[in-house]
Amino acid sequence: MTAWVDRVLKEFPVDLARLWIVADPDDVLLDEQVLSGLRERGFEVLPFEDSIAFRAEYEERYRAAWDQGEPPSAP
């Protein structure tokens, strides 16, 4: 990976918290190398483009599973 990708990824330590909210106005986290590195660390990226669609996916995939003590469902 390139130096800038490594620099971005070092800000995401594994197992710190199960939910992160990140402001990314330049879509850096959507770069394929960054996405790949995040997935290797166990992260998933759920872009916030529409509040209703985001909330529906969050509730269905993450919150319901977490409330039952299970991991989130696959995308």
Name residue 71's amino acid: P
Q: How many CB atoms lie within 10 A of CB 74?
A: 6
69 conformational bin, left if phi > 0, alpha if psi -120 to 50, beta if neither: left
pLDDT in tens, 15-73: 777 788 899 999 999 999 999 999 898 888 888 999 999 999 889 888 888 888 888 87
Centre a 10 Å sphere on the Cβ of residue 65 and count the other Cβ atoms it contains. 13
Identify the pLDDT of residue 19: 81
Q: What is the pTM assigned to this prediction?
A: 0.74
CA 57-10-55 angle, 5° bins = 10
Position 1 confidence tier, pLDDT thresholds 50, 70, 90: low
Rg over CA atoms, the chain: 13
